[in-house]
């Protein structure tokens, strides 16, 4: 039943919903789908021709449960067999007869369990079963309509006339009748899958920019439907590929090129298949339906100029308008085609609201506004926004003491993007500073895992963070320029450096070194204020010795180095290449441990 593989193919146009999300709406129900589910629970009684009302209660309970949450149901029953579907119906009838014979054989063998499972496959919904449910709907004032032929086409027409907001079915063929919202896989827990016609183009790839629903319908017909079996080896994907490359709208000219386009040399497309394809397409477009407002039979779509209605008997024959009305009300016997009942919906005692809301009421007004358009359009926009944009937590610096794990795991904003910010705007420039300051904290937390630095950063203000960053940049630029001055044979006095006196090391720990090395080692023996305080006692004892020695200049960096490596005894130099000092070590490019400032 339906088009094989269509529901998985439309995964991008589908979304899981709860039935409570569809409140305050009108549902058009393909009631035969519910009846087929209901007979599973009473297949033994129906097979043995016992009287049962289980399937009636099953359908009515669903209608009442939906009514409690604000969903009005209009049940649509199938009518006569469509001539276009004769081949499919005959094949199904033969399969049911074969299954019945297997069930009888299993019962004779005593295999009741397997026979019970086989019974569910051979039960057909008879007109008598449908009539029993129609009578129950009349007693409860439930709206219903009997289609002249297929319920799918009748539902498509009612959706086009704004009678309902969405459809409940299990038949994927309904999507080809241009229904905007179709709910499938509706279970007893209230969950289902809603397919939106406006999103079908998303399932056809990037080439479907100029999407036409007619091309999608032709693709489904080519893959195989109830009105036309598919060609060997042709499914939805190959049908999609074919209609993605062909631009010819004339199917009589386009279909013969199918083997060459798909590179299937063994495939044969004869004239009989082409005519069957055109009949199936016309059945989807011009099937005969009943209009409850005009009270007569009409085509599903207005006929095109090149279509002769007399040639479309396979899409449903016409009959008298009065008979058509009685048929739609369920007053006509299917076998004899005679009126056997006189039910009139106006005679039923509806409540004030339900009377005007019935499709059989003269005061019925089409529902021009569909609330689902607003609900699910907004929902899809929010989901797309969350998937493509960063959240507010990641766009700005976090105000919490601990950094966001999600923000810390992302890369910093590229400098090319930061340069595009207009610094003339104060708010934009401040946001830029926040991002730069945030980059510093992220690098430290990601690569060094310093929890103390992270806590200190959280306790500091924004201005302190920026000031600390500027100091580090000045320190880095100064060290680079200072080291470069040695390569250019520039003395320390040429650079703009603040010099401070350095306390000499006591004689007992000061090794004898050459004068050529004193200037080099002076940079590595820089003393600080902490060193002055620690050596104050020693400097007072050796004041006479220090006065006779010249003061060594030291460099005051942007941030003082707290940890000072004590001088070690220098090994005598040799002319060996292995023991010689490299240029990098000689000119202060040697790693030394630094403590936190």
- The residue ranking higher by pLDDT, 534 or 62, is 62
Q: Inform me whether the pLDDT recorded for 221 exceeds 80.
A: yes
Give the sheet arrangement for strand 191-196, strand by strand: 14-18, 191-196, 181-184, 166-168, 25-30, 71-77, 144-146
Q: Inform me whether the pLDDT recorded for 62 exceeds 80.
A: yes
Q: Can you tell me the mean pLDDT for 29-45? A: 92
Q: Inform me whether the pLDDT recorded for 274 exceeds 70.
A: yes
pLDDT score for 479: 57
Question: Judging by DSSP bridges, how do beta strands 288-291 and 296-299 pair with one another?
Answer: antiparallel
Q: Inform me whether the pLDDT recorded for 415 exceeds 90.
A: no
| pLDDT, tens digit, 9 for 90 and up, residues 493-544 | 444 444 444 445 444 444 444 444 444 344 444 444 344 344 444 444 444 4
Q: Do residues 42 and 52 make contact, with C-beta atoms less than 8 angstroms apart?
A: yes
Measured CA to CA, the distance from residue 196 to residue 166 in angstroms comes to 10
* Helices assigned H by DSSP within 48-111: 54-68, 86-109
pLDDT score for 222: 94
- The residue ranking higher by pLDDT, 171 or 416, is 171
Q: Inform me whether the pLDDT recorded for 315 exceeds 80.
A: yes
| pLDDT, tens digit, 9 for 90 and up, residues 162-203 | 999 999 999 878 889 989 999 999 998 999 999 999 888 888
The three-state DSSP-derived secondary structure of 205-228 is: CCCCCCCCHHHHHHHHHHHCECCE
Hey, which residues does 335 pair with through a beta bridge? none
Q: Can you tell me the mean pLDDT for 103-122? A: 86
Measured CA to CA, the distance from residue 178 to residue 214 in angstroms comes to 10
- The residue ranking higher by pLDDT, 431 or 321, is 321
In the Cβ-directed half-sphere of 361, how many Cα atoms lie within 13 Å?
A: 19
Q: Collapsing DSSP states into helix, strand and coil, what is residue 462?
A: helix
């Amino acid at each position: 039943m339906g088009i094989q593989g269509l529901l998985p193919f439309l995964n991008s146009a589908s979304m899981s919903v709860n039935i409570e999300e569809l409140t305050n709406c009108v549902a058009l129900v393909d009631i035969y789908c519910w009846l087929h589910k209901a007979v599973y629970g009473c297949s033994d009684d129906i097979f043995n021709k016992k009287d049962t009302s289980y399937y009636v209660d099953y359908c009515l309970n669903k209608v009442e449960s939906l009514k409690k949450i604000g969903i009005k149901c209009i049940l649509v029953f199938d009518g006569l067999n469509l001539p276009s579907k004769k081949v499919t119906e005959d094949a199904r009838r033969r399969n049911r007869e074969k299954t019945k014979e297997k069930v009888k054989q299993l019962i004779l063998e005593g295999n009741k369990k397997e026979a019970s499972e086989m019974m569910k496959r051979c039960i057909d919904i008879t007109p008598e079963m449908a009539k029993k449910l129609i009578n129950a709907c009349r007693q409860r004032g439930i709206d219903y309509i009997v289609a002249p032929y297929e319920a799918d086409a009748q539902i498509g027409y009612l959706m086009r006339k704004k009678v309902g907001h969405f459809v409940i079915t299990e038949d994927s063929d309904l999507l080809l009748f241009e229904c905007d919202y179709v709910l499938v896989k509706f279970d007893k827990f209230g969950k289902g899958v809603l397919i939106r016609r406006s999103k079908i183009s998303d399932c056809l790839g990037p080439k479907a920019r100029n999407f036409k629903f007619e091309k999608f319908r032709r693709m489904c017909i080519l893959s195989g439907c109830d009105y036309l079996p598919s060609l060997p080896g042709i499914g939805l994907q190959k049908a999609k590929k074919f209609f993605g490359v062909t631009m010819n709208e004339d199917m009589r000219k386009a279909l013969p090129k199918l083997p060459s386009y798909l590179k299937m040399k063994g495939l044969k497309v004869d004239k009989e298949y082409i005519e069957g394809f055109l009949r199936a397409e016309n059945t989807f477009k011009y099937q005969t339906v009943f209009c409850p407002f005009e009270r007569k039979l009409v085509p599903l779509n207005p006929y095109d100029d090149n279509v002769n209605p007399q040639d479309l008997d396979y899409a449903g024959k016409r009959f008298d308008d009065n008979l058509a009305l009685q048929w739609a009300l369920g007053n006509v016997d299917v076998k004899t085609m005679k009126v056997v009942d006189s039910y009139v919906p106006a005679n039923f005692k509806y409540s004030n609201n339900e009377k005007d809301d019935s499709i059989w009421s003269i005061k019925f007004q089409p529902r021009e506004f569909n609330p689902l358009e607003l609900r699910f359009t907004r929902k899809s926009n929010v989901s797309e926004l969350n998937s493509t944009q960063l959240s507010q937590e990641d766009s700005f610096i976090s105000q919490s003491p601990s950094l966001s794990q999600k923000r810390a795991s992302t890369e910093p904003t590229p400098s090319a993007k930061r340069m595009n910010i207009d610094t003339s705007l104060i708010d934009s420039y401040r946001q830029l500073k926040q991002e730069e300051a945030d980059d510093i904290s992220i690098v430290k937390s990601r690569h060094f895992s310093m929890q103390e630095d992270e806590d200190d950063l959280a306790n500091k203000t924004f201005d302190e963070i920026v000031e600390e960053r500027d100091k580090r940049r000045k320190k880095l630029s100064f060290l680079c320029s200072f080291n470069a001055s040695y390569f250019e044979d520039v003395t320390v006095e040429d650079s703009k450096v603040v010099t401070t006196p350095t306390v000499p090391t006591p004689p007992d720990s000061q090794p004898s070194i050459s004068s050529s090395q004193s200037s080099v080692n002076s940079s590595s023996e820089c003393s600080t204020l902490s060193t002055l305080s620690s050596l104050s006692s020693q400097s007072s004892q050796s004041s006479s010795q220090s006065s006779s020695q010249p003061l060594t200049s030291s460099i005051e960096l942007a941030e003082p180095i707290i940890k000072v490596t004590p001088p070690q005894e220098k090994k005598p130099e040799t002319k060996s290449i292995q023991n010689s000092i490299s240029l990098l070590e000689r000119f202060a490019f040697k790693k030394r441990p630094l403590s936190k400032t």
